[in-house]
Structure 1
């Protein structure tokens, strides 16, 4: 079932001719016959002229109309399909590809989404030459909201969330839909990350903020100021959930999100930031166990996930350092990270209020002493550069934590035509489709301890589910490049997607 509306219904604009409309309204609050007759007599004496409405009357009518518009819009949203809204507010609705069809469910089911929704502050027309009016916030915000309503994820990890829009739009809109949320950013940036969750399922009990520029990483310092941030929350199961599983020893989930360093020559720094991600999850797991589980020594009270935009593909060292244990850099991955160590970042980046190239254009200039491409066919590293890369490899192999990609684990079962097309991990081909670049940058990870055994290859679905008491019940379909190429342009685009990234969703059953 759908509700048909027109553009004026959805857009928060004043209808044309409001003064005439207001003047024709009858004040239904007056029911006395004498006053009605008196008003009619005044109308006759005034030869059709009417008394102008008072400011209070205008405000009342406007408020009523705004309420009616909002009610129609919310009625439309609750239908889910949104098939009758104007073309400029449509988006491509992808199916959730199911696993374990027909199998009974005995655990706690929830859906987890990650989505880089494109900060409005970062939009430059030259970067999105084909996007047209799809870039306008008053439209794009509604399309994004409709997308969240359509997929109805229980926990949502967001990146590139504008601080202004979070405070003035998202916080309230998510609240109306039954969500709570937390937002975090570096003060030097006008966008950050957010985590959103259904209040009927979870309660926030602790949080940890990540400032990558200040986080320790063994004896490897940050290569440059990035102003990147991360956020981890402890979401305790609500009383409603615990009543369904009265004998469980599980307390809830830990959920983190981040947006890692974007720079094309930032592979080395991104790889360091991935170490920070795993190390902070380990630290947070210990903290919540001490503070909320009486420090009983058990490490499985909380089930940890970490999602976000890692600005790394499955064949590069940031991703491999988290998922392939023990990691050994070789081939293309080694070439790219060694090349990145030769890049000299501008001193303008340094400092708490350092320049942010995402918003102000590229500070660094190519020159005779700078590499000309971040992905060279070959790179002749100096002993110093080789030593830096070796130290990074050793750093990751010293940490007893690892990440397991939920899509890498199960996507080949539901969409084999788009699993492992350009990578050896079974990941889908793309999650980002911009005007000048495309590839897979976004991931949903389960975080696990590592016993230093051989975990170089992606786990099978059976091993993952058996070893962690988790079932992957569904994965949102991701289009391959061959489908996206048919559009002939980048995203966002009217009637297609509201961001240059595509949302990713996993349905998870926790066997409590």
Structure 2
């Protein structure tokens, strides 16, 4: 019998019981005391203890290095000096990349950021970081809007309005800071619809295909406390803000140019309706944003910015070529969850009897195609409103290196970056009157002219990266620690003067 060994075991057992006896026991709490206030206070104390432990570990060098940012943070670049005493508004446009359109075969190297539970929170953190007053979002899934976005926006003090074509799974959202704005009216635009134009108006040529694309606008009335803070706002009713996502097809230039007309025409109708409702002579500040799926040298962009429009050179060649494309009878899709895959199949099916290159060096249009292009010109030139891209007006002053692209009207090189393609597709337009006489075909408005003529002082623009900064391929977005969508958000800070 090993009495020494037994004594040792007994001794250790007594020691352990003695230590446990000295430990404070957790007292049970009367359930009546478990009020919401008590629980919140206990959580607060627990967080304080955690923070104290973190600081102690940090002082001892025991903490691991901080995790790399989950998205790249870009600065707002100064364009003009702010004017004292006038309010600033930050307007963002952002295509979020609809989750229903994500396919691994389209994004084979992008990794786990494609998962919604990861990407959604990075997108939300990005929006919080840039802290815009108005956010115009495209490709927002209806399911995610109802289950995630609407509640998050509400918690952050924002109101939001969602609109989609009735068979699509995703749509557009206008988000606004409730301390500054109240949404009074909305106007919804189905871009395939026909217009009830008067006999005096130049008729818009008909659509060639049903695209199911939409746009919509909101009238954001200034909140009384916001007006009290900035009395200059008493001379204005508020802001008309619009957003859209135009037809994406490579040969869709004709449809997009037609849809651009629809947006401006419907804007005029909406403003006219508001003038009647409000029955005053006060002005509106008017902006239209979105993913226009058009580069600055394309006919859709030029049709609304270079008044009077005359399609020529590259833009006419591409526009004419788009009219030569014959869509499959199945091209108009209702089941958008299969859209990305089906569109590739349909393109393969259509390719046999259609041109291969949407941007050929030379294209000779038929007489019928000439008439359609002339009809688009006449319709656009009959609209007494034009659009000014805020990045076109000011980005050269803030980031010259990224605004030297020939034919880009001083726009940055890209806002959409995927492995196979990149280009500038997203814009924030200021909508202003046009007398149908002044020639803006080659002119680019300056920030000084915006302030003096249209009472909008362009203060800052969100920086966009250069192609060289995107790194070696594969670098298509979205990617963890880079950007959470295949589009980059754009943002302008303007003063309403």
User: Contact 1:134 / 1:492 at 8 angstroms: preserved in 2?
Assistant: yes
Stretches of structure 1 that go unaligned for 5 or more consecutive residues are 1-24, 33-56, 76-82
Rounded to whole Å, the distance in 1 between the matches of 2:163 and 2:71 is: 28
Q: Aligned residue for 1:408?
A: 392
User: Which of 333, 342, 357 is 2:315 aligned to?
Assistant: 333
Matched, 1:211 2:190: yes
Aligned-pair RMSD on alpha carbons? Answer: 2.8
Q: Could you tell me which residue of structure 2 aligns to residue 151 of structure 1?
A: 130
Q: Does 1:423 align with 2:407?
A: yes
Note closer, same or farther for the CA distance 1:355–1:326 as it changes in structure 2 (3 Å cut): farther
- Alignment map for 1:495-506 (pairs within 5 Å): 495-506=481-492
- Partner of residue 153, structure 2: 174
1:52-451 correspondence to structure 2 within 5 Å: 86-87=67-68, 90-101=70-81, 103-216=82-195, 218-246=203-231, 248-292=234-278, 294=279, 296=280, 298=281, 301-350=283-332, 357-358=339-340, 360-362=342-344, 363-364=346-347, 365-451=349-435
Separation in structure 2 between the aligned mates of residue 312 and residue 356 of structure 1, nearest angstrom: 24
| Separation in 1, partners of 2:137, 2:352 | 39
The Cα shift of 1:285 comes to: 0.8
Q: Check the 8 A contact 1:215/1:276 in 2, yes or no.
A: no
Deviation at 1:347, TM superposition (A): 1.4
Structure 1 residue 105: Cα displacement: 2.2
Secondary structure of the residue that 2:353 maps to in structure 1?
coil
SS of match in other structure, 1:361: helix
Offset of 1:318 from its aligned partner? 0.2
Aligned partner of residue 214 in structure 1, secondary structure = coil
354 and 180 in structure 1: CA distance in 2 versus 1, 3 angstrom threshold: closer
Shift of 1:420: 3.4
Measure, in 2, the Cα distance between the counterparts of 1:158 and 1:359: 24
Shift of 1:351: 8.3
Contact 1:349 1:355 in 2 (8 A): no
Alignment partner of 1:459 out of 422, 445, 452: 445
**CA 1:130–1:31 in structure 2 vs 1: closer, same or farther (change >3 Å)?**
closer
Does the residue aligned with 1:203 lie in a helix, a strand or coil?
Answer: strand
Q: Deviations over 1:120-144 (max 9, x none)?
A: 0000111112211011111000100
Could you tell me which residue of structure 1 aligns to residue 479 of structure 2?
A: 493
> Could you tell which deviates more after superposition, 267-276 or 219-228?
219-228
How has the CA–CA distance of structure 1 residues 339 and 204 changed in structure 2, closer, same or farther, with 3 Å as cutoff? same
Please state whether the residue corresponding to 2:427 is helix, strand or coil: strand
Q: Which has the larger radius of gyration?
A: 2
- Could you list the structure 1 runs, at least 4 aligned residues long, displaced by more than 3 angstroms after superposition: 25-28, 83-87, 349-360, 485-488
Give the drift of 1:358.
3.8
Mark the CA change 1:27 to 1:188 in structure 2 (over 3 Å): closer, same or farther: farther
CA distance in 2, matches of 1:355, 1:118: 13
Shift of 1:486: 3.9
Whole-angstrom CA distance in 1 between matches of 2:372 and 2:184: 39
> Which whole-Å CA distance do the structure 1 matches of 2:413 and 2:235 have between them?
38
Q: Is the 8 A contact 2:88 2:495 kept in 1?
A: yes
CA distance in 1: counterparts of 2:352 and 2:333, whole angstroms: 26
2:448–2:457 CA contact under 8 A, matched in 1: no
Q: Is the 8 A contact 1:289 1:301 kept in 2?
A: no
Residue aligned with 1:307, SS: strand
Provide the secondary structure at the position in 2 that maps to 1:111. strand
2:16 aligned partner: none
- 1:270 & 1:209 partners in 2: Cα distance? 17
Q: Is the 8 A contact 1:348 1:354 kept in 2?
A: no
Q: Secondary structure at the match of 1:183?
A: strand
Separation of aligned partners in 2, 1:85 and 1:506:
31
Mapped to 1, the partners of 2:339 and 2:374 lie a distance apart of 29
CA shift for structure 1 position 107? 1.1
| C-alpha distance in structure 2 between counterparts of 1:251 and 1:219, whole Å | 31
In the alignment of these two chains, the number of paired residues is: 443
Q: Distance in 1 between matches of 2:444 and 2:190?
A: 29
> Does the 8 Å contact 1:92/1:495 carry over to 2?
yes
Q: Which moved more, 1:339-348 or 1:354-363?
A: 354-363
Deviation, 1:26, is 5.3
C-alpha contact 1:409 1:458 (8 A) present in aligned 2:
yes
